[in-house]
């Protein structure tokens, strides 16, 4: 028997087009907090999903407590006392905490000696005790819909503890939490270690690792690039390993020559459905020829800023000005006509109509204008003519040219189609939200080149990205968002990656 | 007064058990517009059973009626498999599937009724005549003022329905299966994560829905129609859906809605008789439940909550 | 491995037949139609009849094939014209379902909208002495307006109160059905037929007892209107800006909003158009094919139109084809019953089965793609294996 409770040997997992995990070997000791560090898409979640049985590795072996894992399924993982808190909680909203926790393994009692009933009452007590033991402060009789995100996460933790999980995997647990809640969570994690649990923490936040983790494996593009003792390794060293010494794509960037202000956002507040301000008093402006990039951890309000500017989300207070005219309450189409192009984050549910043809999608912003539409009648041949030109110009590949149904196209080409449509409008202001999400390297470079070309043409560009790499290589000005507020706005060349990262974690004020 | 109670109860309860069937399906996340088809198909199986076994029992025996209800439940469950397969296995649009199942039930039972009549029983008829159900009066309770109606001319099936409804309520709110079923209607992914088979739970729920609708349909066949023919498809399934929505997908509240519909209907009929109005006025009574449901939806839609994952096509691969 | 191969060639044939996404809009309905016609044929054989004769009699009953003999003053034309007469409302009703469906809405209230339109037109124009040239167009207009109002009310409930259009449409169906039944029985009843009093010939959209070439026949004026409606709707859906917006809302509400389309406005509009078409179906049904309204009965046309729309892939041209077929089955069944002795109910059974198979369409649509993906994967792996072994062989040669 080895010293490791979990050991992965030469694990490789491929998905169509990418190798998510490439010959990964690592060992996790019993009773430690082990962190998996890496950027988005580095393969951390995939690796842990294999451990939790959601995927089967293509090559390599996994050992738990010295025994080789033969069957990969969440049920088998649970039987091996492995538990996982996913990024998206899996909770029944109209059930109480207790009901959620016991779902699937409900304790029964016999009413009158023969009628089986689910025993909620006694379980409530058991769960209250468990919550106390790990200092989770969860009330078992509360309904999930009445709890905030942090509480819901603790319910997920309780779910694992109730199932007597000994190895607990946390997938980016702090992405949706406030700083105070993060502190609270890290305390809980320490408490669990004190109780002899083994914890695996998936994250890309160095600060957290420094705070709680014992050891840390760093992944880059599916490969383990280092396993280190956290106490003996500097944050800087870890950051270097995470980003990779060689920055893979540096683009030829023309010198920064800002023009006049094109887009101004002033004291913007956006509230979510519960009335909570997800964007809180944000002000910035973007000049022609400038790439203004908003950096930040997912869910800190950056997408809401972009949606508010594009008119897809209601603004609670503050103003948005485009090219000198206020557009705070303007309709989506009016903003577009006034010179705002928008590449949305979720290309399949917002950016495209998947069951429409490529030609129709390419004209989605202009179908009602001449010459495509004259007196309410569409001119399909003009659609196709324009589409063929865009397909050629932007190198959009598809099975049947402009007649292809977009659903059947690859993600990269779908994104190219959106970019083509938006750039072709020649709007003075363009918003890019996560323009390279889920794309392969070739497609990423292509999109980056186009963003820089638009900058060279004097466009004002607002870029929202979760990839620090992308921001560092493209931005002229960086605004770092944390918890709905822009903590820092500064020229890109005055900030190092580490500094931006620290603002992103809300560390530096 | 007594008449209103007698008629109200004998209409409300079959409606109620059909609505409970609807609740089972919808609380598990499968939209069910197919109640009408389920109740018709179930009643058809029950009626065929009585027609085919008519010679085996004494003419006054009540046994065939009870057996036919068992057969109707089995038949309803069997027919519900079509909806379950379409919705769960084939991932078809659940609304369309419901409508299809209704239309098919009508066509199928219509065809088979005349064929069985002609081919097996050697008569030309588009209906199966059922024998008359006894009605029970409990003295001295029946002589009590006002509430005496609850003990007068009671159909035996009313007790069966109450018993089945209690079991259904117990299964849904007190057992493991019920807990998982209701969880499926809110977040099937949570149920899957808990290691349960969502498709299996939903499949069973739809079949239970068919069984309960079949029972209700058979009771209607005995009480309202006295026979089985396609006249059984007169919208009681959709009325049950209205009751279910009115009752906010909860069993006790749905019973309230059904009693309201049933008593309003009975009271309306009595009133019309009392005032000596022509029969056409009863049609105005008939619209009451539908108008009530629409108004409720319009003004209380905030409080009225359908199961969160209702009608969503559950795809295990997705998050 | 051999077994697997055999399975593969079957799968490959399946993919080749059903795989092309372009063709699927035609192959899937054809698949459903063929299956149900075969099922119908099997039923006929079980009942001891020749299915070919059975299906032939359906065509004969619709005036599409010569019958052996005709009663005096009747002929092929008589049957065909009365076939057109009942085909007409079906086209309108199916178009109504289709327009709503394009916008992502399911209008199950077509029957109710037909009824309310037909009823109001009957009691206003139908019982009046207006000259035919005014009465007939007025009937059409009234039915369209009433239908559109009923339809847009459903749309209003959907976007103002977020009430599912299926639920509200069903509720409204019953409300219309019973209220109208009350009014008919109280004020407009014909004591002999127990139906509403027949409307005057001046208001009727089908001309009765016309003599053509020595044969007595009807002339359904509404049919011309139906064909015009098909052309207009086809043009509207495929070639106009509003049609494009409607489809965009139906296909992806979020993306439509992103493109600047007002989704709520389009929900109202789609339901209004759908209702207006349903009203036209009502006009040609209650004041054309029929002349009176039977209380407490919703026309089955409204529900059969769902089958027609599904089979026709909610495409106006497809609907002409599918309604043609479905109407043959329902209309011809009467003659099939009298001439061949097959039960009339077999007709609705065949239609019901068509609907059932068409509803499986989503699954059938996804199936070839999945099979194709599996086969492609297999091919790639095999190709890779071959390449590997080939290169290994090559290495050995080098040595």
Give per-residue pLDDT as tens, B109-166.
999 998 899 888 888 888 888 877 888 888 878 888 778 888 888 899 999 999 999 9
Distance of alpha carbon B280 from alpha carbon A377, whole angstroms: 51
Whether C295 has a pLDDT exceeding 60, the answer reads yes
The more confident residue out of A483 and C183 is C183
Q: For residue C190, what is the enclosing H or E element?
A: none
Bridge partner residues of A293 (DSSP): A463, A478
Please check whether residue B87 touches C, CB under 8 A. no
Q: How, if at all, do strands A261-271 and A429-433 pair?
A: unpaired
Least Cα distance to A170 among A46, A89, A85, A90 occurs for A85
Instruction: Quote the mean pLDDT of chain B.
Output: 89
The residue written with tokens 């006002």 in the block is B146
Nearest CB partner across the interface for C362, out of B93, B108, B235: B93
Lookup: tokens for A144: 């999930």
Q: How, if at all, do strands B227-228 and B128-129 pair?
A: antiparallel
User: How many structural domains does chain C have?
Assistant: 1
- The set of residues, in sequence order, having a beta carbon less than 8 Å from that of B265 and lying 6+ positions away, is B7, B8, B11, B285, B286, B288, B289
Whether C112 has a pLDDT exceeding 60, the answer reads yes
Chains sharing 3 or more CB pairs under 8 A with chain B: A, C
Determine, for residues B287 and C349 on separate chains, whether the beta-carbon distance falls below 8 Å.
no
Which strands form A59-64's sheet, in the order they lie side by side?
A18-29, A4-15, A59-64, A67-68
pLDDT attached to residue C2: 44
**Using beta carbons and an 8 Å cutoff, which residues of B are at the interface with A?**
170, 174-176, 179-180, 182-183, 186-187, 189-196, 308, 319
Mean pLDDT within C337-351: 89
Torsion over CA: C226, C228, C234, C236 (sign):
negative
pTM of the model: 0.84
Distance of alpha carbon A328 from alpha carbon A167, whole angstroms: 50
pLDDT attached to residue B64: 87
- Where are the extended beta strands (E) located within chain C? 206-212, 215-220
For residues B99-130, one letter each, b for 16 or more C-beta atoms within 10 angstroms of the residue's C-beta and e for the rest, the string is bbbbbbbbbbbbbbbbbbbeeeeeeeebbbeb
pLDDT attached to residue B234: 81
Distance of alpha carbon C85 from alpha carbon C219, whole angstroms: 8
Q: Are B134 and B62 in contact (CB under 8 A)?
A: yes
Instruction: Quote the mean pLDDT of chain A.
Output: 88
Confidence of residue A235 (pLDDT cuts 50, 70, 90): confident
pLDDT attached to residue C396: 40
Determine, for residues A353 and C248 on separate chains, whether the beta-carbon distance falls below 8 Å.
yes
pLDDT tens-digit series, residues C48-99? 899 999 999 999 999 998 888 888 888 899 999 999 999 999 999 999 999 9
C-alpha angle with apex A96: A92 to A98, nearest 5 degrees?
Answer: 105
pLDDT tens-digit series, residues A294-334? 998 777 889 999 999 999 999 999 999 999 999 999 999 99
- The set of residues, in sequence order, having a beta carbon less than 8 Å from that of A123 and lying 6+ positions away, is A98, A101, A102, A107, A140
pLDDT attached to residue C397: 42
Nearest CB partner across the interface for A92, out of B170, B186, B319: B186
pLDDT attached to residue A16: 67
**Minimum Cα–Cα distance from B196: chain A residue:** A104
pLDDT attached to residue B185: 94
Instruction: Quote the mean pLDDT of chain C.
Output: 87
Looking at CA atoms only, how far is residue B13 from chain A in angstroms? 25
Interface of C with A in 3-62 (CB under 8 A): 21
Determine, for residues B114 and C168 on separate chains, whether the beta-carbon distance falls below 8 Å.
no
Determine, for residues C182 and B99 on separate chains, whether the beta-carbon distance falls below 8 Å.
no
Determine, for residues A353 and C251 on separate chains, whether the beta-carbon distance falls below 8 Å.
yes
Whether A33 has a pLDDT exceeding 70, the answer reads yes
Please check whether residue A117 touches B, CB under 8 A. yes
Chains sharing 3 or more CB pairs under 8 A with chain C: A, B
Q: Helix, strand or coil for residue A108?
A: strand
Q: Are A168 and A158 in contact (CB under 8 A)?
A: no
Distance of alpha carbon A272 from alpha carbon A270, whole angstroms: 7
Whether C395 has a pLDDT exceeding 50, the answer reads no
Mean pLDDT within B77-104: 92
pLDDT attached to residue B311: 84
- Worst-scoring range by mean pLDDT, A95-99, A391-395, A411-415, B4-8? A411-415
Q: For C115, what's the count of Cα atoms within 13 Å in the CB-facing half-sphere? A: 29
Whether C182 has a pLDDT exceeding 90, the answer reads yes
pLDDT attached to residue B136: 86
Q: What is the Cα A453 distance to its own chain's centre? A: 27
Lookup: tokens for B237: 């399934």
**Minimum Cα–Cα distance from A75: chain B residue:** B195
Burial of C377 (0-12, 13-18, 19+ CB in 10 A): exposed
The fraction of chain C above a pLDDT of 90, given in percent, is 65
How far lies A311's CA from each of A308, A333, A426, C132, in Å? 5, 9, 19, 54
CATH says B2-136+147-300 is which class?
mainly alpha
Looking at CA atoms only, how far is residue B119 from chain A in angstroms? 47
Burial of A410 (0-12, 13-18, 19+ CB in 10 A): middle
How far lies C378's CA from each of A35, C4, C15, in Å? 38, 11, 15
Mean pLDDT within B39-57: 91
Distance of alpha carbon B129 from alpha carbon B222, whole angstroms: 10
C-beta atoms surrounding C215 within 10 Å: 17
pLDDT attached to residue C89: 97
Least Cα distance to B71 among B210, B208, B203, B215 occurs for B215
Mean pLDDT within C380-390: 57
Distance of alpha carbon A43 from alpha carbon A219, whole angstroms: 7
CATH architecture for segment(s) A262-339+427-509: 3-Layer(aba) Sandwich (3.40)
Q: For C216, what's the count of Cα atoms within 13 Å in the CB-facing half-sphere? A: 7
Least Cα distance to B185 among B22, B17, B18 occurs for B22
Cis before A54 (ω within 30): no
The more confident residue out of A358 and B303 is A358
Q: Which of B126-140, C95-109, C297-311 has the highest mean pLDDT?
A: C95-109
Examine residue C185 and state whether it is found in any structural domain, yes or no: yes
- The set of residues, in sequence order, having a beta carbon less than 8 Å from that of C36 and lying 6+ positions away, is C350, C351, C353, C354, C356, C357
Q: Which of A182-191, B178-187, C301-310, C356-365 has the highest mean pLDDT?
A: B178-187
> To the nearest 10°, the Cα dihedral for B183, B186, B190, B191?
30
pLDDT attached to residue A509: 54
Q: Which chain C residues are closer than 8 Å to A350 by Cβ?
A: 254-255, 258
The residue written with tokens 């009605």 in the block is B135
Q: How, if at all, do strands A340-343 and A67-68 pair?
A: unpaired
Determine, for residues A104 and B191 on separate chains, whether the beta-carbon distance falls below 8 Å.
yes
Measured in degrees and rounded to the nearest 5, phi and psi for residue B230 equal -70, -5
Bridge partner residues of A342 (DSSP): A431
pLDDT tens-digit series, residues C240-262? 999 999 999 999 999 999 999 99
Greatest CA separation found in chain B? 64
Looking at CA atoms only, how far is residue C245 from chain A in angstroms? 9
> So where are chain A's domains?
4-243, 262-339+427-509, 351-426
> So where are chain B's domains?
2-136+147-300
Helix intervals (H) in A432-504: 441-456, 468-474, 497-504
* Domain span holding position C299: 72-316
Helix intervals (H) in B85-197: 94-119, 156-174, 176-186, 188-193
pLDDT tens-digit series, residues A357-385? 999 999 999 999 988 999 999 999 999 99
- Where are the extended beta strands (E) located within chain B? 128-129, 227-228
pLDDT attached to residue C399: 36
Whether A97 has a pLDDT exceeding 90, the answer reads yes
CATH architecture for segment(s) A4-243: 3-Layer(aba) Sandwich (3.40)
**Minimum Cα–Cα distance from B238: chain C residue:** C170
Q: Which chain C residues are closer than 8 Å to A310 by Cβ?
A: 258
Within this chain, domains A4-243 and A262-339+427-509 share the same CATH topology? yes
Q: Helix, strand or coil for residue C284?
A: helix
Determine, for residues C345 and B99 on separate chains, whether the beta-carbon distance falls below 8 Å.
no
Q: Are A501 and A468 in contact (CB under 8 A)?
A: yes
Concatenate the DSSP letters of all residues of C136-162 into one string. Answer: HHHHHHHHHHHHHHHHHHHHHHHHHH-
**Minimum Cα–Cα distance from B299: chain C residue:** C161
């Amino acid at each position: 028997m080895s010293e490791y409770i979990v050991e992965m040997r030469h694990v490789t997992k491929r998905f169509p087009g990418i190798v998510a995990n490439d010959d990964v070997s690592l060992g996790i000791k019993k009773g430690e907090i082990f962190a998996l560090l890496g950027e988005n898409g580095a393969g951390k979640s995939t690796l842990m999903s294999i451990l939790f049985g959601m995927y089967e590795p293509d090559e390599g072996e996994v050992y738990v407590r010295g025994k080789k894992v033969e069957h990969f399924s969440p049920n088998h993982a649970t039987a091996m006392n492995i538990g996982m808190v996913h990024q998206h909680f899996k909770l029944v909203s109209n059930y109480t905490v207790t009901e959620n926790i016991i779902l699937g393994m409900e304790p029964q009692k016999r009413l009158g000696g023969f009628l089986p009933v689910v025993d909620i009452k006694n379980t409530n007590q058991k769960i209250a005790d468990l919550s106390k033991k790990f200092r989770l402060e969860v009330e078992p009789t509360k309904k999930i819909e009445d709890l905030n995100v942090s509480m819901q996460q603790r319910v997920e933790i309780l779910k694992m503890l109730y199932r007597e999980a000994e190895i607990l995997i946390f997938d980016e647990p702090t992405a949706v939490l406030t700083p105070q809640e993060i502190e609270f969570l890290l305390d809980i994690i320490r408490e669990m270690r004190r109780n002899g649990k083994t914890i695996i923490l998936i994250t890309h936040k160095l600060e957290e690792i420094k705070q709680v983790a014992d050891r840390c494996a760093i992944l880059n593009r599916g490969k383990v690039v280092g396993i280190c003792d956290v106490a003996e390794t500097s944050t800087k060293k870890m950051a270097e390993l995470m980003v990779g010494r060689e920055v893979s794509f540096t683009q030829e960037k023309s010198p920064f020559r800002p023009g006049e202000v094109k887009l101004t956002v002033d004291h913007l507040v956006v509230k979510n459905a519960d009335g909570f301000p997800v964007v809180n008093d944000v002000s910035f402006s973007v000049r022609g020829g400038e790439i203004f990039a908003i950096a930040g951890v997912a869910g800190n309000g950056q997408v809401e800023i972009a949606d508010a500017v594009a008119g897809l989300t209601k603004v609670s207070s503050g103003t948005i000005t485009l090219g000198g005219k206020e557009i705070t309450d303007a309709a989506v189409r009016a903003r577009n006509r006034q010179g705002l192009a928008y590449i949305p984050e979720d290309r399949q549910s917002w950016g495209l109509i998947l069951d429409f043809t490529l030609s129709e999608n390419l004209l989605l912003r202009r179908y009602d204008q001449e010459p495509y539409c004259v007196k309410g009648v569409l001119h399909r041949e003009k659609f196709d003519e324009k589409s063929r030109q865009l397909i050629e110009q932007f190198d959009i590949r598809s099975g049947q040219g402009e007649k292809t149904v977009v659903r059947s196209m690859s993600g990269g080409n779908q994104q190219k189609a959106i970019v083509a449509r938006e750039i072709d409008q020649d709007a003075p202001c363009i918003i890019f939200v996560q323009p390279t999400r889920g794309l392969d390297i070739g497609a990423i470079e292509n999109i980056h080149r186009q963003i820089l070309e638009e900058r060279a043409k004097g466009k004002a560009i607002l870029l929202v990205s979760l990839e620090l790499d992308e921001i560092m290589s493209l931005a002229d000005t960086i605004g770092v968002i944390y918890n709905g507020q822009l903590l820092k706005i500064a020229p890109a060349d005055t900030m190092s990656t580490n500094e931006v990262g620290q603002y992103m974690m809300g560390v530096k004020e | 007064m007594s008449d209103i109670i007698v008629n109200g109860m004998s209409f409300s309860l079959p409606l109620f058990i059909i609505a409970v069937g609807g609740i089972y399906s919808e609380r598990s996340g499968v939209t069910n517009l197919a109640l009408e088809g389920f109740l018709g198909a179930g009643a058809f199986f029950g009626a065929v059973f009585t027609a085919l076994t008519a010679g085996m029992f004494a003419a006054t025996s009540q046994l065939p009626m009870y057996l036919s209800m068992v057969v109707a439940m089995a038949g309803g469950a069997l027919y519900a498999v079509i909806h379950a397969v379409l919705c769960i296995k084939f991932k078809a649009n659940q609304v369309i599937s419901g409508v299809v199942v209704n239309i098919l039930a009508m066509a199928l039972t219509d065809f088979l009724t005349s064929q069985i009549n002609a081919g097996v029983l050697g008569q030309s008829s588009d209906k199966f005549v059922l024998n008359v159900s006894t009605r029970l009066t409990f003295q001295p309770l029946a002589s009590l003022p006002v509430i005496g109606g609850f003990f007068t001319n009671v159909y035996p099936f009313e007790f069966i329905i109450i018993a089945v409804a209690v079991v259904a309520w117990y299964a849904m709110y007190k057992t493991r299966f019920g807990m998982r079923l209701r969880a499926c209607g809110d977040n099937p992914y949570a149920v899957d994560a808990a290691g349960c088979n969502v498709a299996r739970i939903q499949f069973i729920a739809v079949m239970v829905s068919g069984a309960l609708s079949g029972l209700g349909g058979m009771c209607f066949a005995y009480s309202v129609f006295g026979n089985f023919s396609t006249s059984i498809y007169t919208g009681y399934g959709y009325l049950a859906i209205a009751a279910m929505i009115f009752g906010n997908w909860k069993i006790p509240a749905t019973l309230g809605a059904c009693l309201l519909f049933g008593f309003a209907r009975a009271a309306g009929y009595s009133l019309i008789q009392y005032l000596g109005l022509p029969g056409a006025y009863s049609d105005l009574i008939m619209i009451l439940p539908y108008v009530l449901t629409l108004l409720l939806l319009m003004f209380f839609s905030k409080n009225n909550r359908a199961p969160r994952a209702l009608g969503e096509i559950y795809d295990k691969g997705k998050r | 491995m051999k077994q697997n191969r055999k399975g593969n060639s079957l799968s490959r044939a399946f993919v080749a037949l059903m795989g092309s996404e372009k063709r699927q809009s035609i192959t899937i309905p054809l698949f459903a139609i063929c299956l149900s016609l075969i099922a119908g044929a099997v039923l006929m054989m079980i009942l001891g009849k020749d299915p070919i004769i059975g299906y032939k009699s359906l065509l004969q009953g619709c005036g599409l094939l010569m019958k052996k003999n005709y009663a005096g003053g009747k002929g092929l034309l008589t049957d065909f014209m009365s076939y057109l007469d009942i085909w007409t409302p079906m086209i309108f009703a199916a178009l109504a379902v289709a327009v709503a469906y394009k916008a992502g809405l399911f209008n199950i209230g077509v029957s109710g909208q037909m009824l309310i339109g037909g009823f109001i037109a009957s009691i206003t124009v139908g019982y009046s002495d207006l000259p035919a040239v005014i009465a007939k167009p007025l009937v059409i207009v009234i039915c369209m307006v009433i239908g559109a109002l009923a339809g847009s009310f459903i749309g209003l409930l959907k976007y103002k109160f977020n009430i599912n259009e299926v639920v509200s449409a069903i509720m409204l169906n019953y409300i219309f059905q019973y209220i109208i039944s009350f009014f008919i029985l109280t004020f407009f009843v014909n004591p002999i037929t127990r139906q509403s009093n027949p409307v005057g010939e001046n208001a009727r959209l089908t001309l009765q007892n016309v003599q053509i070439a020595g044969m007595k026949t009807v002339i359904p004026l509404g049919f011309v209107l139906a064909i015009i409606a098909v052309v207009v709707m086809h043009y509207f859906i495929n070639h106009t800006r509003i049609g494009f917006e409607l489809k965009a809302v139906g296909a992806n509400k979020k993306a439509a909003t992103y493109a600047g389309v007002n989704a709520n406005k389009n929900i109202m509009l789609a339901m209004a158009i759908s209702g207006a078409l349903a009203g036209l179906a009502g006009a040609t049904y209650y004041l054309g094919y029929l002349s009176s309204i039977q209380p407490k009965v919703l026309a089955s046309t409204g529900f059969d139109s769902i089958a027609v729309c599904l089979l026709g892939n909610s495409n106006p041209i497809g609907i002409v084809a599918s309604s043609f077929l479905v109407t043959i089955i329902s209309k011809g069944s009467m003659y099939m019953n009298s001439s061949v002795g097959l039960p009339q109910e077999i007709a609705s059974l065949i239609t019901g089965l068509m609907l059932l198979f068409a509803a499986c369409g989503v699954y059938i649509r996804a199936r070839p793609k999945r099979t194709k993906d599996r086969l492609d994967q297999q091919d790639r792996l095999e190709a890779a294996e071959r390449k590997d072994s080939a290169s290994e062989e090559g290495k050995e040669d080098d040595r």
